[in-house]
Amino acid sequence: MSMTDLRAIVEAAARSEGFEDVAIVRLEDFFAAQDGDYFSRWLDRGFAGEMNYLKGERAEKRRHPGMILEGARSAICVTLNYNTDAPRSVECRDPSCGWVSRYAWGSDYHDVLKKKLDGLLERMRSEIPGPFEARAYVDTGPILERALARQSPLGWVGKNTCLINERRGSWLFIGEILTTLEFPGNAATPAADRCGTCTRCIDACPTQAITEPRVLDATRCISYWTIEFKAEFPQEIAAGLGRHVFGCDICQDVCPWNRRAPATHLDEFQARAGLVNPPLEELAAMAEGDFREKFKNSPVRRLGFKRFQRNVRAAIANSTPES
């Protein structure tokens, strides 16, 4: 089988599973780009906070994909659009309402993408002759997803650290399959960086979490505090979280590349009732059983009831004008 045929099988299978874009990245190109060294420096600056799953042995695996899958030669990277027609967070100014990040309005993306990646891999195994090893990941394994994707035409890493596609904006989930399959030939041409002189994401961040272009200090980020941090908020932190109860979309909401980003047609990512600009008092009144039911199969449920309550309390405090 020619390499052209091999690529065609992978690309056709990916699109049949509903992925918007697919690209094949040679891992040798990833190593040459030194993204692993950049990641190490980011960790050394303490920007990962208490996200210990990014550190230690897992950090080494992110630097060296061969530690995840022995003999890995390539990464098949795919994207899936989760944008909707619902309003942006910067347009929702009702002080009685909170904000749930757009990516959590529908079903849990881990499950949706993993099912599609498994379908892609199943088709590859049925159509590609000869043995090969492969492993699929969706934001759960030690993979530098954006670093891999930026080595391809899928997009560039913007100043807000998100992967941005010229046609689709940044409302994209990324998935990948590491494989021992090799795709010789010319390396994929990375997308051009089109952020230019724009600094809207940096200027709009209310906590100055983007310390410089493409550098995010997670310990200042609203998403980190409302999703990753496990304890009660320090008072000075809680005051800066605004009305966010799960994540933050501000740096994407203000990005010019998202002005005309297309909306997804997938039912799984359509906004569930009551998750767009949800009334804070209703969220505060929820019992644990209500929480489990409302956020069934949602990324929010992974947070747990107690931490969700913590976030809602902080949002309510920040929504009340000082006397």
- Which active-site residues does the annotation give? 139
Pairing of strands 99-100, 244-246: parallel
Backbone angles phi, psi at 111, to 5 degrees: -70, -40
Task: State the residue for tokens 């492993």.
Answer: 135
Using CA atoms, how far apart are residues 254 and 128, in angstroms rounded to an integer? 43
Binning the chain into helix, strand and coil, the percentages to the nearest 5 are 40, 15, 45
Using CA atoms, how far apart are residues 43 and 34, in angstroms rounded to an integer? 15
Amino acid symbol at 226: T
Using CA atoms, how far apart are residues 79 and 155, in angstroms rounded to an integer? 10
DSSP three-state, residue 85: coil
Using CA atoms, how far apart are residues 310 and 292, in angstroms rounded to an integer? 16
CA pseudo-torsion sign 258, 261, 263, 269 = negative
DSSP three-state, residue 59: helix
